[in-house]
A and B are shown apart, each in its own frame.
Chain A
Amino acid sequence: MMTIVFQLARALVPDSFMSLEKILQDKKPTILQGWFEAILETYPTDTRRFLKNKKDRFKNPVAHEISQGMEGIFDQVISGGSPDEISPFLERVVKVRAVQDFTPSKALAFIFELKSLVRAALAANLKEPQIHEDLLSLERKIDELGLLSLDLYMKCREKIYELRVNEVKNRVGRLLERANMICGIPEREGDPEVCTTDNLT
């Protein structure tokens, strides 16, 4: 009974008294859809049609990672999640974008799109002082997200370079562990062969 009364009361409360979080939660599908479409815009026209179809994560892992990541970011941001809580979701998107055909700024610009989408969603409530204030702090949060994404982007790029180095080292890793036994082809014809076999055990 109490629940029904409570729900009734909530339904009667006009939008204007709803919290920022509640309004954004209600408009989540529209905002997320808009956000996803905004990120799609950064891909070539021919690709967008393919990326749009998110039904099968195995056929379209990019859209899956991006949309799942975005949803997580959104939920965390509006409910006041800490950077540690947001990071795993942000990382899902950044990890994909960090190896695609984008400059760093292009890869991360999507974050700031969230601002205009949130503003658009709040258009009717912007005059309310509380909402206005909350919005400003939310926007600050999105700016912080931008900085956080920069850290994550760098982490991905550093990882890429680390992987490169590791591969080169491991290519003959066991051999070097045992002894230096490679005999390379000299750079110029006539040069002596580059062989180091004297420390064979």
Chain B
Amino acid sequence: MAKVGSPEELARIDYSPPKKSWMDIPPEFREGRWCYGSKAKDHAVVGLPNPRAWSPADEDWKLPDNWKEIFLEGMRERLHKYRSFQLFMDICVRCGACADKCHFFIGSGDPKNMPVLRAELLRSIYRGEFTTAGKIMGKLAGGRKLTYDVFKELFYYFFQCTECRRCSLFCPYGIDTAEVTMIGRELLNLLGCNIDWITGPVANCYRTGNHLGIQPHAYHSMLEFFCEEIEEITGILPEPSFNRKGAEILFITPSGDVFADPGTFTAMGYIMLFHYLEGLGLDLTWSTYASEGGNFGFFTSHEMAKRLNAKMYAEAERLGVKFIIGGECGHMWRVCNQYMDTFWEPPKSLETPVSPITGTRFEHAKEHKMIHICEFTADLIKHGKLNLDPSRNDPYRVTFHDSCNTARGMGFFEEPRYVLENIVNHFHEMPESTIREQTFCCGSGSGLNTDEFMDMRMRGALPRANAVQYVHDRHDVNLLSCICAIDRATLTTLTEYWVPDVEVSGVHELLGNALILEGEKKRTMNLRGEEFPWVEEEEEEEVEEAAEEVADEEAAGKAEGEE
């Protein structure tokens, strides 16, 4: 007779997931874990394939009849074109070193978020469709055929990778799963399967110049608005110039800095810095045409990244500037530094960037002629060019989040820290294994910072949040600073869910607080318009002193009268 379990055993509900091979478990498209599908109207604007109304939750994704052919042909072409891709398909030994390094796996526990399995999704198709062993032995040789379900699975998991490259840091072979994701997304794109939050900004950027479709006069008006706010805070009205031909420097920043808090406070910081430097010989212009530093084309295909990037050099050439300064942005920095001068020949008017204030020559930027504003500012501070009062940032206890693209992508660690050291009095690093090259992603990069993806984002955000929580508990840290526009938006959401007592800011917002402008009035509030906590105390003291004085005078008068 079969053994019957005890009542407790019987009452116990078994929630263990089924024990099956990963190849046999298709993903479940549940809300919060996938992004909305790209819209036909946006496809049409930039000529992306297969414009149609569809949703990833639909049974039928309305793929063309020969979808398989298109996909495999695209794969063949890329295996040939990118040697790295071919290598990444061939050389993984499945050692597992990368497995537990991805924030999405760490936070979700979904094995297919292990980088090794994420890449294996495509690698198995490579084996099953392109290698002899895989074609013959199938599963036994780790190969499988491309089916409709497999295609959907690719979409699900390649839009669950933020291309952060943390996994590649730990791979003994240097396999970069972010690049596998990039190729994977390109292939999905060939069939018109992208996400709305990427193609929307791409189409807007292509048509209007920035992700949100903001027109030039609105862009201009927003910056004027910030100038008025600066005047309220400092008593000084900066007058930035726009689209000015003959300027020495062109400044380009992500549009998020201009339209969404808390990026807007960082934008105010830039304006104040440029105003301060005008007296020292800075000749800089903003552009309402190159009004987007970000590039969501980068999350679509190399080709699209190139198209959207075109306006930077085009505007630099039209205005005849000598070099470009980029605002605080992560993926913009990677695109501009790693790809821009291979996308396009820099215009002849551009030169190796030289700071007009300090004379420092930025040799490392001699090819692409563009520097990051943190490099520029760090150099100014190093040469003692900025008059700073860090105590204005005393209400903040600050830590710094290394953005994946600047840190891991570009090895850009010290400049922002150097700036911070000079503008805040309380700075505390998060643990070593969560910063610099090992930094944890915000969980929302590479175009995944859309609201319908919130569950997945919050899972991916946990490793970062956990380190923030640590410095919050230990050192009372209440401000998470960063140099990336996407981070400024997404970390705000991250902290609100995981560590609600911590706010988020850009580095140049804090610089704006600390920077002493010539002729400014006594500052009583920070760039957010929040009164400094000591102002009330000082006012009370002043009232008390005044009252004392009056009392003294009265007493003196009385004494005189008595005499």
Chain A residues with a Cβ under 8 A of chain B = 41-47, 50-51, 56-62, 64-65, 95-96, 99-101, 106, 109, 113, 116, 119, 156, 159-160, 163-168, 170-175, 178-179, 181-189, 195, 197, 200-201
Closest to A116 in B: B8
Residues of B within 8 A of A188 (CB): 41
* Interface contact A62-B107, CB-CB below 8 Å: yes
Residues of A within 8 A of B524 (CB): none
* Interface contact B218-A197, CB-CB below 8 Å: yes
* Interface contact A182-B107, CB-CB below 8 Å: no
List, sorted by A's number, 23 A–B pairs whose CB atoms are closer than 8 Å.
A44-B110, A45-B16, A46-B111, A50-B105, A100-B108, A101-B109, A119-B8, A159-B496, A160-B454, A164-B451, A164-B452, A164-B454, A166-B493, A168-B451, A171-B260, A172-B260, A174-B260, A174-B264, A175-B212, A175-B259, A182-B212, A185-B203, A185-B204
* Interface contact A185-B110, CB-CB below 8 Å: no
Residues of A within 8 A of B17 (CB): 42-45
* Interface contact B106-A109, CB-CB below 8 Å: no
* Interface contact B493-A167, CB-CB below 8 Å: yes
**Is B498 among interface residues, defined by CB-CB distance under 8 A?**
yes
* Interface contact A44-B203, CB-CB below 8 Å: no
Known: A174-B259, A174-B261, A175-B259. A41 touches B15 (CB 8 A): yes
**Is B356 among interface residues, defined by CB-CB distance under 8 A?**
no
Contacts A44-B17, A62-B109, A185-B45 given; 18 further ones with Cβ under 8 A? A42-B15, A44-B110, A57-B466, A58-B433, A61-B462, A61-B465, A62-B462, A100-B459, A160-B455, A164-B451, A167-B489, A173-B261, A175-B222, A178-B221, A178-B222, A185-B41, A185-B213, A200-B218
A85 to B466, CA, bound (A): 22
* Interface contact B109-A51, CB-CB below 8 Å: yes
Interface centre among B44, B258, B260, B470 (most CB of A within 10 A): B260
A189 to B214, CA, bound (A): 20
Closest to B493 in A: A163
A57 to B105, CA, bound (A): 15
A192 to B13, CA, bound (A): 57
In chain B between 40 and 85, which residues have their CB closer than 8 angstroms to a CB of chain A? Answer: 41-42, 44-45
* Interface contact A99-B459, CB-CB below 8 Å: yes
A156 to B455, CA, bound (A): 11
Distance from B474 Cβ to chain A, minimum over Cβ atoms (Å): 12
* Interface contact B489-A170, CB-CB below 8 Å: yes
Interface centre among A46, A200, A201 (most CB of B within 10 A): A46
Residues of B within 8 A of A59 (CB): 100, 106, 433
* Interface contact A182-B213, CB-CB below 8 Å: yes
Residues of B within 8 A of A95 (CB): 497-498
Distance from B281 Cβ to chain A, minimum over Cβ atoms (Å): 31
A134 to B293, CA, bound (A): 65
A61 to B264, CA, bound (A): 32
Interchain CB contact (< 8 A) of A181 among B14, B99, B221: B221
Interface centre among A56, A61, A96, A156 (most CB of B within 10 A): A61
**Is B215 among interface residues, defined by CB-CB distance under 8 A?**
yes
Residues of B within 8 A of A47 (CB): 105, 109-111
* Interface contact A58-B259, CB-CB below 8 Å: no
* Interface contact B221-A65, CB-CB below 8 Å: no
A163 to B454, CA, bound (A): 8
Residues of B within 8 A of A183 (CB): 208, 213-215
Residues of A within 8 A of B260 (CB): 170-174
**Is B19 among interface residues, defined by CB-CB distance under 8 A?**
yes
Distance from B518 Cβ to chain A, minimum over Cβ atoms (Å): 28
The dominant DSSP class at the B interface is helix
Nearest 3 interchain pairs by C-beta: A181-B218, A61-B466, A164-B451
Residues of A within 8 A of B497 (CB): 95, 156, 159-160, 163
**Is B207 among interface residues, defined by CB-CB distance under 8 A?**
yes
Interface centre among B16, B42, B431, B465 (most CB of A within 10 A): B16
In chain B between 202 and 230, which residues have their CB closer than 8 angstroms to a CB of chain A? Answer: 203-204, 207-208, 212-215, 217-218, 221-222, 225
Residues of B within 8 A of A189 (CB): 41, 44
Interface centre among A100, A106, A119, A195 (most CB of B within 10 A): A100
* Interface contact B110-A101, CB-CB below 8 Å: yes
Closest to B9 in A: A116
Distance from A106 Cβ to chain B, minimum over Cβ atoms (Å): 5
A109 to B12, CA, bound (A): 10
Distance from A97 Cβ to chain B, minimum over Cβ atoms (Å): 10
A100 to B15, CA, bound (A): 14
* Interface contact A197-B433, CB-CB below 8 Å: no
Distance from A113 Cβ to chain B, minimum over Cβ atoms (Å): 8
Known: A160-B497, A187-B41. A167 touches B15 (CB 8 A): no
Distance from A199 Cβ to chain B, minimum over Cβ atoms (Å): 11
In chain B between 403 and 435, which residues have their CB closer than 8 angstroms to a CB of chain A? Answer: 431, 433-434
A188 to B498, CA, bound (A): 41
A182 to B105, CA, bound (A): 38
Residues of A within 8 A of B107 (CB): 61-62, 99-100
Closest to A51 in B: B109
Residues of B within 8 A of A170 (CB): 260-261, 489
Residue-by-residue, is B83-114 near A (CB-CB < 8 Å gives 1, otherwise 0)? 00000000000000001100001111111001
**Is B143 among interface residues, defined by CB-CB distance under 8 A?**
no
**Is B37 among interface residues, defined by CB-CB distance under 8 A?**
no
Distance from A55 Cβ to chain B, minimum over Cβ atoms (Å): 12
* Interface contact A61-B109, CB-CB below 8 Å: no
Closest to B225 in A: A178
Residues of A within 8 A of B12 (CB): 113, 116
Closest to A176 in B: B259
Closest to A53 in B: B100
Distance from B85 Cβ to chain A, minimum over Cβ atoms (Å): 26
Distance from B101 Cβ to chain A, minimum over Cβ atoms (Å): 9
Distance from B204 Cβ to chain A, minimum over Cβ atoms (Å): 7
Residues of B within 8 A of A116 (CB): 8, 12
**Is B184 among interface residues, defined by CB-CB distance under 8 A?**
no
A95 to B222, CA, bound (A): 38
A45 to B523, CA, bound (A): 58
Residues of B within 8 A of A174 (CB): 222, 225, 258-261, 264
Closest to A184 in B: B213
